[in-house]
Amino acid sequence: MTAIRSNVADYREAARRFLPRFAFAYLEGGAENEITLRRNRAAFEALAFEPRVLRDVSTLDTRTTLAGQAAAWPAVVGPTGINGLFRRAAEEALARAAQKAGLPFALSTASTSLLEDVRNVTEGDLWLQLYVQQDRRIAENLMARARAAKFSTLMLTVDTPVLGQRDDYARTGFAMPVRWTPALLWDLATHPRWLAAVGIHGQPRLVNLSRSARLGAGIEDRTGTRTHRMDLTLNWRDVAWLRRHWQGRILLKGIQGASDARLAFAHDVDGVVLSNHGGRQLDGARSPLDLLGEVVADAPRGAEVFVDGGIRRGSDIAKAVALGARGVLLGRAPLYGLAAAGEAGVTDVLAMLHKELQTCMRLLGCPDLSALTFDLLTAHGAAAAREAAAA
């Protein structure tokens, strides 16, 4: 009998049961002591609602625009890497589910599906998340391919010159290429459903990097490109280099302070994503949600501010929008659905979050997104937003 899953947490538990320990640790884990990982979630929990009653909420409108494109609600299925660990053709499944939900899908440079294959399965809005390697011709080729495939938006990740220290990798034996140990073999043997659906097909491949680098397609070849060979010279002047190669909108993902947000807008980007990489990079960083009010207050007219990290309920999306976010990026939540039940699981997770957002808006007395304002929230984050707006 199929278990009833009523929320994202239920899908997380189903994903945990399905995945080998090393794969779930890769999905779920954070950097070092996971202070930042916990802080992301705690920031949402610290905000309390102050609803308005006796408001007409007989009709409800969650529609918005994200990076200039229409979206059914204020969320993006965000970029996540090596998703082939969870299901085959993972990015195709994520992209189709995003289109059905009326949302953009952001494809990671570290995807295990070709961007052209993703475009072939969806007519939805696609964004390219970009890592820049020492050989910048790789990034230039990725951008050219994405333009040809009609991707609308480029999202440069700026918080990953090197990988953060992730202790769970050592604890569970996660490594690419795989290092075969008795513990890993036992991990695989005790997860036969994953072996039959995923593991039997071999290691996932970072095929987009491989194609653009014109090198071997094995993940063992390309992991070095993503980490040790990342371009450590990348700096603010390189936004102009991006503009020469990308005519669409450009967002910077991984902004972790108001001063860097101001610098981003001074360099003429179209928007920023406040993000600490889901707590996977620098442990001890602030929660993006706690930065949101200050950054929004300083943003120039027309610039868009997105936020990610710790979003597990539709009410979390309402809180982010009330603090001024254009929208949120969903990372782990869709992946729980993907691992637990493939594309159907992603579709269900997105439908749950949208329904929860709608319920929350009605209970707050908000018939549309413009009614979601910071005066509906109480706590330090909302207080900071009020002060910034009054300044």
Q: What angle do CA 80, 82, 84 make, to 5 degrees?
A: 115
Residue 249 bridge partners (DSSP): 153
Q: Are 262 and 298 in contact (CB under 8 A)?
A: yes
- Asked if the bond preceding 177 is cis, omega within 30° of 0, the reply is yes
Q: Are 128 and 154 in contact (CB under 8 A)?
A: yes
The DSSP letter of residue 226 is H
- The CA-based dihedral angle spanning residues 334, 339, 18, 283, taken in that order and rounded to the nearest 10 degrees: -60
Task: Please name the amino acid found at residue 239.
Answer: V
Active-site residue (options: 267, 277, 354, 380): 277
Radius of gyration of the chain (CA): 20
**For residue 356, which of 326, 311, 310 has the smallest C-alpha distance?**
311
The DSSP letter of residue 232 is T
CA 282 to mean position of chain CA atoms: 17
Q: Is 245 a catalytic residue?
A: no
Q: Are 158 and 254 in contact (CB under 8 A)?
A: yes
* Main-chain dihedrals φ then ψ at residue 379, nearest 5 degrees: 145, 180
Distances (CA, A) of 382 to 13, 44, 86, 260, 385: 32, 11, 37, 21, 5
Q: Are 126 and 151 in contact (CB under 8 A)?
A: yes
The DSSP letter of residue 230 is B
d(CA 119, CA 121): 6
d(CA 319, CA 350): 17
d(CA 257, CA 320): 17
Task: Please name the amino acid found at residue 329.
Answer: L
d(CA 253, CA 272): 6
- The CA-based dihedral angle spanning residues 91, 93, 95, 100, taken in that order and rounded to the nearest 10 degrees: -170
Catalytic residue positions, numbered? 277
